[in-house]
Amino acid sequence: MYSDLLHALPDVFAWTNFAAVVIGVIAGIVVGAMPGLSATMAISVLVPFTFGLEPLVALGLMAGIYNGAMYGGAIPAVLLRIPGTPAAVATTFDGYPMAQKGEGGFALQVAVVSSSIGGIASAFALMLLAPPLSKVTLLFGPSEVFWVAVFGLASIIFLLGGNPIKGLISACFGVFVSVIGSDPIYGNDRFTFGQLEMLDGINIVILLVGLYALPPVIDLLETPLKTDGVNSSKLGTEPIWKALPRMNYWKTWLRGSLLGIWIGILPGAGGSMAAFMSYNEARRTSKNPEKWGEGEPEGVAAAEVANNADTASALIPALTLGIPGTAVAAVMLGGLLVHGLQPGPMLFRDNPDIVFGFMWQFLFGAILLVLLGGSLATNSFARLLNLPRPLLGSVIIVLMLIGVYSIHGRMFDVYLMLGFGAIGWVMDRLKFPLPPVVLGLILGGFAEENLRLALRIGRGDPMVLFQNTTSLILVALTVSVVVGPTLKKRFIDSRKKA
């Protein structure tokens, strides 16, 4: 089962594949360090540029960006108390007080070492857990695959928190977009309105760039951020090898890694939750909890190890079942699709070199974090905070246009992307979750095809969808995901009243 993992290793060391991870990590740190930009946005903008690249080069870039951005978010969190990414909120609690005391450099070094350890643990979890899970899912037939898709959508809608009605609207929109184009079985046009450009359906990249890249650009232009650069000019950084002996946080790193991995696997949770839980647990078990919040380096370690430990583990359900655990994982699924790699059970059987190579790239990306985000680089990356946001916004607009135009070489796609961007901005402002749209687009067509296949096998009898144990387990899981949060809320309310 694990022999494919070792076979994939030599490919990862091809210089182009390795260089892709290095470039990805650097780009990820840059993106993460810029408040308002995120790994999701960076990967969305990147995906169209990877069309002409070998799959492992493209995936290496994505793995590097994901790892780098999760650490990069700590830079403004420590220096400005503005989390560069949502997952870095807990890093501000102790990181910023450290920076005010002139220990910003050490805080960033703790962050980079902890991020690296979390990323390494997460990559190992992906390598160990995904292959056996994929063996199980290979036994699935059309009705089970249909229920997996339904379960995936239900989990992302109901476990994401917030308003389930908005989550459902997002998912319905995504599934609807997935049916635009030719019918997969009969070939008749659906909602193309005579546009030849839409016969093949809506390319996922157009949707990703519109939904995830346009709203942050509008934010960059809407609210100019003024930084005084005070904390970034007094980092007080010493070489990282001198700082390492001061970092004795093994228990925190272990606990945070396990929490991050577990939360990453759960659909809809994500890095922020992992970081908060790890921070709270570390504080609860600390000998000096009163010092936390006033510049305790272990607080930075707890938050950063957990938010990086959920990176690769979020891909366990994504790669094996096609259900992403986080928004970034959903966008990465889009990246896989662009290269003809359909996430799910068949991926491990048909493309073992690529999927296992991707796992190695996650591991190397996490290791490279320490080398690239070390003392010298930390100083340089901290200066990124002074980049003018309007200029950055205008450059991203150009990159979005190039990326989308180059998919098919036509402006129609650009206009479509702008339409999705406007919808994405409204959804973002009204707090409609975006991951269900992407998941709806990915799983909608997949679910429809398998539903129709299952119905054909059952000669039109819908009971074919409930005729085996796996399907029934998946139905039960879906029901529990839908009903679970409501029951939990009622239980908590009744206990409060009691």
Partner 1 sequence: MTESRKSRLTRPETLTAVGIILVAAGFLVPTYDLRAISALLPAAMLIGLIVLSVFLLLADQRKASAGEDAAPMTKAPKRVIGAFLMIVSYALACDFVGFYVSTAVTIPLVAWTFGYRSPVGLLIATVIVVGTIWAIFDFGMSQDFPTGRFWGR
Q: What is the dihedral of CA 452, 136, 152, 304, to 10 degrees?
A: -160
Query: Distance between CA atoms of 35 and 77, rounded to whole angstroms?
Result: 9
With left for phi above 0 and alpha for psi between -120 and 50, is residue 201 left, alpha or beta? left
Site for partner 1 contains 224 (CB under 8 A): yes
Residue selected from 6, 9, 138, 165 as contacting partner 1 according to rule CB under 8 A? 165
Measured from the CB atom, the residue of 181 and 373 that comes closer to partner 1 is 181
Element (H, E) at 333: helix 327-338
**Per-residue binder mask for partner 1 (CB under 8 A), 438-467, x = binder:** ------x--xx--xx--x------------
Site for partner 1 contains 254 (CB under 8 A): no
Measured from the CB atom, the residue of 312 and 451 that comes closer to partner 1 is 451
The one segment of 16-24, 245-253, 388-396, 463-471 that binds partner 1 by CB under 8 A: 388-396
Q: What residues contact residue 495 under an 8 Å CB cut-off, 6+ apart?
A: none
Site for partner 1 contains 183 (CB under 8 A): yes
Reduced DSSP (H G I as helix, E B as strand, rest coil) percent helix, strand, coil of the chain, to 5:
75, 0, 25
φ and ψ of 424, to 5 deg: -60, -40
Measured from the CB atom, the residue of 161 and 236 that comes closer to partner 1 is 161
Query: Distance between CA atoms of 431 and 45, rounded to whole angstroms?
Result: 22
Residue selected from 69, 175, 240, 265 as contacting partner 1 according to rule CB under 8 A? 175
Element (H, E) at 110: helix 104-137
Residue selected from 19, 133, 172, 199 as contacting partner 1 according to rule CB under 8 A? 172
Alpha helices in 36-88 (DSSP H): 39-46, 55-72, 74-80
The one segment of 15-23, 167-175, 326-334, 461-469 that binds partner 1 by CB under 8 A: 167-175
Measured from the CB atom, the residue of 283 and 389 that comes closer to partner 1 is 389
Site for partner 1 contains 65 (CB under 8 A): no
Residue selected from 2, 13, 191, 250 as contacting partner 1 according to rule CB under 8 A? 191
Residue selected from 2, 13, 250, 415 as contacting partner 1 according to rule CB under 8 A? 415
Site for partner 1 contains 436 (CB under 8 A): no
Nearest approach in angstroms of CB 393 to partner 1 is 7
Measured from the CB atom, the residue of 139 and 398 that comes closer to partner 1 is 398
Query: Distance between CA atoms of 450 and 446, rounded to whole angstroms?
Result: 6
- What is the CB-side half-sphere exposure of residue 327 using CA atoms within 13 A? 21
End-to-end CA distance of the chain, in Å? Answer: 52
Residue selected from 1, 52, 196, 241 as contacting partner 1 according to rule CB under 8 A? 52
Site for partner 1 contains 223 (CB under 8 A): yes
Site for partner 1 contains 408 (CB under 8 A): no
Measured from the CB atom, the residue of 72 and 174 that comes closer to partner 1 is 174
- Kind of pairing between the strands at 189-190 and 181-182: antiparallel
Site for partner 1 contains 236 (CB under 8 A): no
Q: Which tokens go with 35?
A: 């408040």
> Would you give the DSSP letter of residue 322?
S
Residue selected from 99, 112, 217, 321 as contacting partner 1 according to rule CB under 8 A? 217
Measured from the CB atom, the residue of 346 and 397 that comes closer to partner 1 is 397
Residue position matching structure tokens 């059987």: 349
* Neighbour count for residue 269 (Cβ, 10 Å): 21
CA-to-CA dists, residue 280 to 111, 127, 216, angstroms:
17, 28, 30
44 touches 336 (CB < 8 A): no
Measured from the CB atom, the residue of 222 and 228 that comes closer to partner 1 is 222
Report the interface residues with partner 1, using CB under 8 A.
Answer: 52, 165-166, 168-169, 172-173, 175-176, 179, 183, 185-186, 188, 190-191, 214, 217-218, 221-224, 388-391, 393-395, 397-398, 401-402, 405-406, 409, 411, 414-415, 418, 421-422, 426, 429-430, 444, 447-448, 451-452, 455
